[in-house]
Amino acid sequence: MASGQYPPPIPPRPLPPPVPSRRPVPTPPAIQNDPEVIALCPGNQPLYATAYWYSLPSIPTYEVCSHCFASHIRSTPWAAQFQKHLRSPDPSRRCRFDTPRMLQLWSHLAQNHDWPAVTAYMAHRASIPNCTGKTPVAAEAGIKWYSPRGNELHNFGVCAACYEDLLLATPFAAHFGLNPQKQPPGELWNCKMPLFVHRAIETPGKYATWAALAADIGRYMQIPPCDGPTGIAAGKRGWYRPRRAIEGLVVCDSCYWEYLASSLMEREWEAMPVGFQHQWTTWACDMSLLPMKVAYLKALMEKDYGIWWNAARAIMASPPCPSASGGVYPGTWYKLPRAEVYVCAQCFAGIIFPFRFGNHFVQAYAHNGPRTCIFNAATPRREQFLNRFDESISLRDFSKFENYVVRLSPLPLCSTSTMVHNRRWYGTNDFLACESCWEEFVKDTSLASQLSLKGVVVPAACCDMYSARMRRLWMTACSKNNLAEFTAFAKHRSAVYAQTVPRMQEILAMAKMRMEQKQTLMMSSIMLQGASNVVGASQSADFSHTLYGNAALGYHATPAGAQGAAQFDQALGINPVQGGEMMQVAQLEAMWKQVE
């Protein structure tokens, strides 16, 4: 979206009617209506829902989601080899089945019945760390890296997971080998495999030769990242627009390759020339909007470009998603009947409506004061709300999201390791969970009934149940029905907390106080000496007037000038960080992180 004015993608014309929906081949009812099968495979993303996972007893770390099991395995003779487990959400768990390489091997299995070859590959793939995408990893992670054997691409390396999952399913694997340069200790590397290559590999005939694919990868690597909602002068990068125009909508070249190239939407887009009059106009990429991305994901799920186009048209016709600091919102608000939480028109059009959850909301009355959309980046629980929405999508059950929002939205945010006063707590005398962590995590677990403190107001306390480590240990304790083991670790953690966190907070508070004192003295010095300089400039140059100060401070036209000089020297003498303090903080933080 252009800042100040929209760039006209095409000459003005009447708004076209919605794109007719091109429905894909429907999901078989046996899968669509099965409550034990999630709506879609999460792929290389975490699943934020408690769901069934399948694995071979001999290879428990090669896990298959319920959607892939139902779609590919359940009707085969090998289904009996798998065991079913109900798993709670785990950010590190991935479905390893829905990849080009595994699907290729599975299709061969139906012909050659070579089950040992499939299980050998599963065991091999389970030993390889999953791709971390653009998140860099250190050499200590032990990831193998592959790069092109030729000179077509420089600084292009892919992780072993992408090599196994994607490239080995194509003839292009012959052009790759282990990177001759070993990752040095201390350096951070990340996988460079673009998403458009993922999609291209799944599109037969998209790239006939390695040279053609390498040329597009090289072109993509030269494109700077998306500038996001802040935008950039339009003439400084490339832009794309839908062939069936949506007024004001532009997508930068980075997002075009990231989301649209080699997808079912590619043919619906065209390059957009930037006219001379717009060269220095600020344009912002509309694909940086969250509702635009969510609608895009739904369109890919359904293989239906019309879903995205209709959502995008509504998004562009609505005011931007508001935060509480944005003043009165001129657009339409939607809310859940059971909770005072609100969704703006953009997020309703791109997030709620495409997934057919619109009937759960009602239109809210206009509000003269500021409101924050629950999907706005300024909303404190935005990530949790999105994760629960993802759970509702996966389980086809909107109540997962609705109940979470109704329960959590009125509660104070978890203070994590910061001490807070006079709040309600749950737990025992050895560990505590705040109201939010109780409702979100502890309440529905098997050991919750054994906790002696429930809703008790404590004068001063901090939460023990916010961290991933403590939650894993709690789930382990629940699986073993053993509260004592968890309590022992919680006691140890509390002892480490007492030794580390208060001292860190004290050191940092003192450093902050000294910094503020230094800044105050500097500002006062500038003001006093500035006023003194004005007086001095108005005096005669015959030295008949009195000067103030000394040899150390210098001589000034007014007492204020001398005082300002003294304050400047005093500020220079203040070191906010005393010698060794930051080293001590680092050591204490390392101790705390080992148990946090």
Q: What is the pLDDT of residues 140-183, one digit of tens each?
A: 999 999 999 988 898 999 999 999 999 999 999 999 999 998 89
Backbone angles phi, psi at 490, to 5 degrees: -60, -40
Res. 229: pLDDT tops 50: yes
Confidence of residue 12 (pLDDT cuts 50, 70, 90): very low
Backbone angles phi, psi at 539, to 5 degrees: -85, 160
User: For residue 17, what pLDDT is reported?
Assistant: 39
- Which tokens sit at 569? 């020297």
Q: What angle do CA 407, 408, 413 make, to 5 degrees?
A: 155
3-state secondary structure 384-416: HHHHHHHHHHHHCCCHHHHHHHHHHCCCCCCCC
Other Cβ atoms closer than 10 A to 362: 10
User: For residue 132, what pLDDT is reported?
Assistant: 94
Backbone angles phi, psi at 177, to 5 degrees: -150, 170
User: For residue 23, what pLDDT is reported?
Assistant: 35
Q: Are 288 and 315 in contact (CB under 8 A)?
A: no
Confidence of residue 371 (pLDDT cuts 50, 70, 90): confident
Report which residue type is found at 180: P
Other Cβ atoms closer than 10 A to 82: 17
Residues composing the chain: 596
Stated pTM of the model: 0.81
User: For residue 542, what pLDDT is reported?
Assistant: 66
CA distance 143 to 157: 12
Torsion-angle region of residue 316: left (phi > 0), alpha (psi -120 to 50) or beta? Answer: alpha
Res. 325: pLDDT tops 70: no
Q: Helices then strands (H, E): number in the chain?
A: 18, 21
Other Cβ atoms closer than 10 A to 287: 22
Confidence of residue 7 (pLDDT cuts 50, 70, 90): very low
User: For residue 10, what pLDDT is reported?
Assistant: 31
- Which tokens sit at 129? 């760390």
Nearest CA among 194, 68, 172, 173 for reference residue 122: 68
Confidence of residue 505 (pLDDT cuts 50, 70, 90): confident
Other Cβ atoms closer than 10 A to 127: 10
Res. 81: pLDDT tops 90: yes
| 3-class secondary structure, 484 | helix
Q: Which helix (H) or strand (E) holds 345?
A: helix 345-347
- Which tokens sit at 180? 């001759």
- Around 435, how many Cα atoms within 13 Å sit in the side-chain half-sphere? 15
| E strand spans, 42-173 | 51-56, 59-65, 83-87, 137-138, 145-148, 158-159
- Which tokens sit at 149? 């054997």
pLDDT in tens, 258-279: 999 999 999 999 999 999 999 9
Q: Are 330 and 317 in contact (CB under 8 A)?
A: no
pLDDT in tens, 30-75: 677 889 999 999 999 999 999 999 999 999 999 999 999 999 999 9
Determine the angle formed by the axes of helices 559-572 and 483-538, rounding to 10 degrees: 150
- Around 488, how many Cα atoms within 13 Å sit in the side-chain half-sphere? 5
The contacts of residue 204 (CB under 8 Å, 6+ apart) are none
Res. 9: pLDDT tops 50: no
Res. 15: pLDDT tops 70: no
Q: Which residue has the tokens 């009812």?
A: 29
Confidence of residue 29 (pLDDT cuts 50, 70, 90): low
| E strand spans, 286-396 | 333-335, 342-343, 362-364
Of 5-9, 34-38, 93-97, 369-373, the one with minimum mean pLDDT is 5-9
Res. 570: pLDDT tops 90: no
- 260: DSSP letter: I
Report which residue type is found at 87: R
Confidence of residue 454 (pLDDT cuts 50, 70, 90): very high
